[in-house]
Amino acid sequence: MITKQCKKCGEIKPLSEFYKNKNYNDGYSTKCKKCFSAYARRRYAANREKLQEAGRRYYAANREKCRASNRRYKEANPEKCREWRRQWKERNPNRDGKVKRACEICGKEFRVYPSRVKKGKGLYCSKVCAGKARSKILIGEKSSRWNGGKTKCICKECGKEFEVFPSQIKKGGGYYCSVLCTCKARSKAYTGSGGPGWKGGISFEPYGPEFNRALKQAIRKRDEYTCQICGERENSKHHDVHHIDYNKQNNSPDNLILLCHSCHSKTNGNREYWQAYFAERFADKRKNGEWFTLDEADIEYIKELGDKE
């Protein structure tokens, strides 16, 4: 390893500790980096104004050359430049050109550029405080969306007077004062013939006398206590016995099928579809004469339960 002796401190150090300088025979400065930096600081402190003025004149005369040199150095030494900026900010916290202000919402002190203050900005320390300020300023009549405020309406269910925004009336609201009154009105409107599932009151028609507990239990046993749509088995609650053709008087075993409560609810709507669905699904059993017939044991079981009832 090649070494050299510093003429200032007298220490022998490797060449990497000396700045390059073409004015010397070996191409390196006679002072080590540490001694040279100390000398440069003393010289700058003693001739600060003079050196700054010389630097400004040189920069004005060689602007493009200086910028190109700075760009090359920053590209070649990005980590050094970041570290230097960080250290400079730590040493000079108040030399970034910003001024101190107090937030008008929370009173917290923060720093902002004077140019923002001149434009009427820089009043709040954060976006949160700026949002709070806007909510206080742009409320009520000061808001661009102000439409006259709430209007008075009469509830169509209980007759009580209440206030509602015009925007709600435009969307079809403003008829009822509360959720309770809304529910009451809907229950009245959708009861009986007003309901979308109204079929003329056929749900109140009586079942045939043979549709008793014994027949229902036999159907459950025949279908192995399993829903014939989803396959769910019975647990603590019995499944429902469904009339395929929706005729309550047709209680033939081939017209009855076991369904869970959920599937039975689905079959109450779109009845033509479900009739076609069951006819297609069990078409093979119809051809083979196996269309949900009861065996002799099931028939005897029905008779026994019928006698008990």
pLDDT tens sequence for the chain (309 residues): 789 999 999 999 999 999 999 899 889 999 999 999 999 999 999 999 999 999 999 999 999 999 999 999 999 999 999 999 888 888 877 777 788 899 989 999 998 888 888 888 889 999 999 988 888 877 777 776 777 778 889 998 899 999 988 888 888 888 899 999 998 888 887 776 666 666 665 555 688 888 888 888 888 888 889 998 999 999 888 899 999 888 888 888 888 899 999 999 999 888 889 989 888 887 777 666 665 566 666 666 665 655 544
166 plus 215 within the same structural domain: no
Q: Is the dihedral of CA 135, 141, 142, 146 positive or negative?
A: positive
Long-range Cβ contact pairs of 292-297 (< 8 A, separation 24 or more): 292/222, 292/223, 292/253, 292/254, 292/256, 292/257, 293/253, 293/254, 294/218, 294/222, 294/253
Whether 218 is in a domain gets the answer yes
Whether 143 is in a domain gets the answer no
236 plus 282 within the same structural domain: yes
pLDDT (0 to 100) of residue 51: 92
188 plus 252 within the same structural domain: no
Domain residue limits at 93 = 76-137
157 plus 238 within the same structural domain: no
97 plus 31 within the same structural domain: no
Closest listed residue to residue 253, CA positions, set 209, 309, 305, 295: 295
Whether 225 is in a domain gets the answer yes
User: How open is the CA angle 20-25-30, to the nearest 5 degrees?
Assistant: 55
Whether 142 is in a domain gets the answer no
133 plus 156 within the same structural domain: no
- Give the CATH number, domain containing residue 21: 3.30.60
242 plus 289 within the same structural domain: yes
Give 162's strand partners. Answer: 153
Rounded-to-integer distance, Cα 61 and Cα 74, Å: 22
Long-range Cβ contact pairs of 157-161 (< 8 A, separation 24 or more): 157/181, 157/182, 157/184, 157/185
Q: How many domains does the chain have?
A: 4
DSSP state, residue 234: P
Under 8 Å between Cβ of 31 and 7: yes
297 plus 244 within the same structural domain: yes
Whether 276 is in a domain gets the answer yes
274 plus 236 within the same structural domain: yes
pTM over 0.85: no
81 plus 169 within the same structural domain: no
pLDDT (0 to 100) of residue 185: 87
